[in-house]
Structure 1
Amino acid sequence: LPPPAAFQLPFCQLVNQTVSLEKEGCPRCHPVETTICSGHCITKDPVIKTLFSKVYQHVCTYRDFYHKTFELPDCLPGVDPTVTYPVALSCHCGGCAMDTSDCTFESMQPNSCMKDEPFYY
């Protein structure tokens, strides 16, 4: 018998990803390559919950990372053109840090752009 679908998913790991950088006052999105954490983490949600049940939902998140700076071109006068984005160095399964991660079930893809204008290179 084939294993359940969850066991066929790749485990939490570093992956190369294109992310879109944009900023209000700068007319275009700019795609950059970075490394992010992506993949499956084992989670637990017991059927019978008691006061002392340990329920956890781990997500694939950064263990070590640094921020890289990029300067967007063609920004309006007075707008700081610099933006920073994270570059993952290592990953682990842990609690979702809402101050640095998108913890929603379905979120925008990292290469999506809020502006309707096409990317340029």
Structure 2
Amino acid sequence: MSPIFLMSLLFGLTFGQAMSFCAPTEYIIHVEKRECAYCLAINTTICAGFCMTRDSNGKKLLLKSALSQDVCTYKDMVYRTVVLPGCPRHTVPYYSYPVAMNCKCGKCNTDYSDCIHETVRTDYCTKPQKSYNV
């Protein structure tokens, strides 16, 4: 192997995280309950962006830990709760959602993140919409 290739490889592994563009991003979620009269559009922040990954073609040459496929995920988050409008008395009108404060590139944690390739489309309402600004 050439020295230039080795230096490039070491540089990429060392400074890969510094070159990532993972940050809190504004996002609108739409929330509704079957029993309630309205859909609520909530402005919040989620973690989104680009994280450096490593090509697994060189897996025989690298340590297993060097082959990580990191995702943009929560570093710090808080939960906020809203009251859904138009709910009858027998229905619990509360909905809690995460707000990203800081993000990082790391392993996807299924305790608080959706780690699948395709997500269910939730950017619409089937009922009259009301806005809620954080």
The TM tier, using the shorter chain, reads 0.7 to 0.9
Point out the structure with max Rg over C-alpha.
Answer: 2
What are the residue-to-residue correspondences of 1:78-89 with 2, within 5 Å? 78-89=90-101
Q: Give the match for residue 4 of structure 1.
A: none
Q: Which residue of 1 aligns with 2:32?
A: 22
RMSD of aligned alpha carbons: 2.2
Matched, 1:32 2:42: yes
TM-score, with structure 2 as normaliser: 0.69
Match of 2:107?
A: 95
Segments of structure 1 that go 5 or more residues without pairing to the other structure are: 1-9
Q: How many residues were matched structurally?
A: 109
1:1-121 pair list within 5 angstroms: 11-49=21-59, 53-54=64-65, 55-109=67-121, 112-113=123-124, 116-121=126-131
Q: What is the deviation of 1:48? A: 4.7
Letter in 1 for 2:35: G
Gaps in structure 2 of 5+ consecutive residues: 1-19
Provide the TM-score with structure 1 as the length reference: 0.75
Stretches (4+) displaced over 4 A? none
Q: Identify, as 1 or 2, the structure richer in helix.
A: 2
